[in-house]
Structures are given as structure tokens and as C-alpha cells.
Amino acid sequence: MTTNRHKALGLKDEDVIEMYKTMLLSRKLDERMWLLNRAGKLSFVISCQGQEGAQVGASFALNRDVDYTAPYYRDVGVVLAFGMTARELMLSAFAKAEDPNSGGRQMPGHFGQKKNRILTGSSPVTTQLPHAVGVALAAKMEKQNIVSFVTLGEGSSNQGDFHEGLNFAGVHQLPVITMVENNKYAISVPLEKQVAAKSVADRGQAYGMPGLTVNGNDPLAVYEVVKEARERALDGGGPTLIEAMTDRLTAHSSDDDDRLYRESAELEEAKKKDTILVFKKYLEEAGVLTEDLAKQITDEIDDIVNDATEYAENAPYPEAESTLKYVYEE
């Protein structure tokens, strides 16, 4: 019964396999980046691990040929789904000239790629939200049949930009979908010290839009609510706020030690609900993922990660003389 959930949502077997591959590629790239960081080859990693199901489930519910996204730093699953490649993500991690995000100028996780309609973000959290609302305003003014999709962490939903952006989107009924990836930590600060409200989703009501909380470890559940939100937006029903409950399976970043503020038992519990495992189990029970296919996918992804690492490691750094390019008018 539950094993046919993807078909009930209009997803073919090939679609859910593609979702699984995208999630696994996100995870394996991230794991490789940690190894490279600990080996002294990469300066910094900020992880998607634990949040891939929410990221990929949401992205697959969008029209990735026309919609815009304003992702936040953990969204490896979103940018891969929108068309960024493993090589490009590694080029960014190694800060190489060919990195499409910033030519090696920004820290990793600062995504931006015009051809895939991924808006450039900057370091202050939540600044991407008013940008996404602006894209939705333009889409409405130009009568384009598209939505913009923006993500952020729950800690960042306390930032002014969140409230200003959502209020504007609500007033003008704009086609923007906001997804808060609630991993229950803002660096070392636990959820109960971040938000007094019962849920982040409840904040939608204040801005005149539906606010929904969904199990972010279940990509199909996220797919469903984002798909509905997209249809509502295109029908003129305005914005939606979604809170995807997830777990951050790593420290905040490679510069953080989460053992100082998070009990190991809590992390072990979170690992039991790991979105990759949850989705793999679903696909096995649905008869979509056989042992042979699982092995084939793992091999394929290992090859992609190895190729990306080798390519990026051997790629040239930007010329020192190019440092000020795009900073001053030439």
C-alpha cells in the first residue's frame, strides 16, 4: 500500500531513481569534501548531510527548466537538481578559476549559476529571501508561468529579511515558495533557544500564506507539499511557507566541533532517521531498487565523485591579477 506512494504522486520509477541518485551524489560529494578538508586540501566544508531528501524532494516538484532558485549554503541537493555538476561543485570547493559560482572568489556553499537560474547568494543569512521574492514579483509583472523557490535554516528565520520578504510576498500574492530546512540547530544554538513559537510554519499565518510542517527526511512528503504549493502559486494563490524537519548529521561546518554542545546519543538517533536510508528502504520495498541496481548506482556515483575530485584538484587557480575583476568598473 505505502509502497506505491510515488505513483500516487505522479512519479514514475525512473523519477524516484533519479531523485535517489541526486541525493546520494550530494551525500558522497560532501563526504569526499570532508576527507579532502581533513587531508588539508580544502579549506572549508559546510554540509548538506541529513538534508538531501528535503532538498531533492522539493527541487523535483519544481519545473527545473524555468523556475528560479535562491538556495542557502547547505543546498547541494538543490543545485545538483537544478543542473550544477559534481565537477563544478568540486571546482568551487577547491577555489579554482573554472568554478561557475564565483571563479573561486567566494567560500564554498555560496552558490550562483545564471544558466541554471540559481541566484547568487552572499554570506549574511536570509538575504536570499527578498531576492527570491523580487524574482516572484518580476514573474508576476511579466505574467510568466514560473515560481521562485528559496530555502534557509530555521535560525535564519529570525532575521529581518525573512519577515520583510514574506510580508511583501503575502501582500502582493507572489509566486514564491519558501522552504525552511529546520535541522534544529543554528550552529550551537538548539531550536528551543531560537524560536518561541511552536513551529516556524506558524509564521506563515502572520503573512497571509499557508504554513506547513513536513517530514523533511521523507523526500516524497516534501515533493507533495512543494508540488501543491507550485500549483497554487501558478493559479494565482500566492506564496507558501514550508518547514521541512531535518537533521544536521555533521558539525555546523568543518570549523566547528559539535561534540561540545550536542549529545552523541542525540546524533545517533538522528542517524537512524537518515533521509538516504529512509528513501533507500522505501525504494527497496516498492520494488524499484534491487540489490543489483543499488550497486550499479553506487559505482556510478563513486566514479562521478572521483572524476570531479581529480578534475578540480588539477584545475588551475585564478590568476592573482584577476582578484579585482568585477569589483571596480573597467
Ligand X SMILES: Cc1ncc(C[n+]2csc(CCOP(=O)(O)OP(=O)(O)O)c2C)c(N)n1
**Binding partner of 178, given ligand X, Mg ion, none, CB within 5-8 angstroms per partner class:** none
Least Å distance between CB 43 and Mg ion?
22
Choose the one of Mg ion, ligand X, none that binds residue 110, judging by a C-beta under 5 to 8 angstroms depending on kind.
Answer: none
Q: Which is nearer to ligand X, 155 or 170 (CB)?
A: 155
Closest residue to Mg ion: CB criterion: 153
SS (H, E, C) the chain: CHHHHHHHCCCCHHHHHHHHHHHHHHHHHHHHHHHHHHCCCCCCCCCCCCCHHHHHHHHHCCCCCCCEEECCCCCHHHHHHCCCCHHHHHHHHCCCCCCCCCCCCCCCCCCCEHHHCECCCCCCCCCHHHHHHHHHHHHHHCCCCCCEEEEEECHHHHCHHHHHHHHHHHHCCCCEEEEEEECCEECCEEHHHCCCCCCCCCHHHHCCCCEEEEECCCHHHHHHHHHHHHHHHHCCCCCEEEEEECCCCCCCCCCCCHHHCCCHHHHHHHHHCCHHHHHHHHHHHCCCCCHHHHHHHHHHHHHHHHHHHHHHHHCCCCCHHHCCCCCCCC
Q: Which is nearer to Mg ion, 186 or 305 (CB)?
A: 186
Taking the least distance from each CB to ligand X, the nearer of 215 and 246 is 246
CB of 46 to Mg ion, least distance (A): 12
In this complex, which beta carbon is closest to Mg ion, that of residue 192 or of residue 291? 192
Closest approach, Cβ 157 to ligand X, in A, equals 7
Write out the residues near ligand X by the rule CB under 6 A. 74, 123-125, 152-156, 159, 181, 183, 185-187, 248, 252
CB nearer to ligand X: give 99 or 181: 181
- Shortest distance (Å) from residue 290 CB to Mg ion: 36
123 binds, among Mg ion, ligand X, none (CB under 5 to 8 A by kind): ligand X
